[in-house]
Amino acid sequence: MYKSIGVIGAGSWGTTLADMLAKKGHKVTLWAYEQELVAEMESRHENSIYLKDITLSGNLAFTGSLESAVSNKELLLFVVPSQVLRKVVKEAIPFISRNALIVSASKGIEVGTLKLVSQIYEELLPPELFGCFSVLSGPSFAREVAMEMPTAVVVAAADIRVAKDVQDVFNCRFFRVYTNRDVIGVELGGAVKNVIAIAAGIADGLGFGYNTRAALITRGLAEITRLGLALGANGETFAGLAGMGDLVLTCTGDLSRNRTVGIQLGQGKTLAQILSEMRMVAEGVKTTESTCLLAGNLGVDMPIAFKVNEILYNERPAKAAVMELMSRDLKAEGF
């Protein structure tokens, strides 16, 4: 059954998902904050800033009006950076239909409050709307999905009926969607893997090899799992698409913005230099800070994340941080 859908956020992932849903037959409106981007997409059916050289569906509508994008929609997909999510959702709430499905594809932990994305929605949405909330995550570079390369992701909701409804909307011949009830685990895996991806990039930038990358991915997963368990997540989630799957992709793929930040840090650039040259958001930069604060509050040991935080915000030399990780007290492997 085709639905009227509003996609909030026209970055690479929001644009890709909006285009995919429109090509599937849904009636989709894509909202962009930048008016010049709306004009370009309307005239050329291309998002040259975030998804260059991909022709967008002729069935896709574009708007710079949040009210227009949200009003009378059966499903709303929010794909805005986590640090501006609260502001956008607050502005959208008065126009949201009371029976709309709410899907979040934002990944991060809010600086200041240290809240997960789902906790922000729970705070802001009326109970009946939050009951229709879900998160979409998993190993999925936007450009590869836009090129219709086979991809598998997971949608999580407390109410499995909501997850199945969203699964039906998004699943298509090249985009396979699984369901899960572990909202915290799915969103936490999607957020904190960006921190470990920066670490993997730093190792690459320093000229280290596959051994180092494998160690970072494996021990990074242990850190994510420890934090997830402390927050009440299901440990099995981190062995799945939103955990190990997304972590491997982001730590190894050349399309990873967070790994790219890490590579440049390892090569000696400052964070300010790197960010000044980036148009797209690398969520892991802010998420590192909030992850480390959250872990500290919960008493969770995350040595890789802590070292990334020192490199990003305390100007700790990358090579020294790696050597400190390697010289910590010996221990048994485990979570």
The residues carrying an active-site annotation are: 193
Residues 118, 134: Cα–Cα separation, whole Å: 8
Structure token digits, residue 124: 């802001």
The 3 state secondary structure assigned to the chain is CCCEEEEECCCHHHHHHHHHHHHHCCEEEEECCCHHHHHHHHHHCCECCCECCCCCCCCCEEECCHHHHHCCCCEEEECCCHHHHHHHHHHHHHHCCCCCEEEECCCCECCCCCCEHHHHHHHHCCHHHHCCEEEEECCCCHHHHHCCCCEEEEEECCCHHHHHHHHHHHCECCEEEEEECCHHHHHHHHHHHHHHHHHHHHHHHCCCCHHHHHHHHHHHHHHHHHHHHHCCCCHHHHHCHHHHHHHHHHHHCCCCHHHHHHHHHHCCCCHHHHHHCCCCCCHHHHHHHHHHHHHHHHCCCCHHHHHHHHHHHCCCCHHHHHHHHHCCCCCCCCC
Structure token digits, residue 165: 């409804």
Residues 258, 272: Cα–Cα separation, whole Å: 14
Inter-residue long-range contacts of 118-121, CB under 8 Å, 24+ positions, other chains counted: 118/183, 118/184, 118/187, 120/85, 120/86, 120/89, 121/89
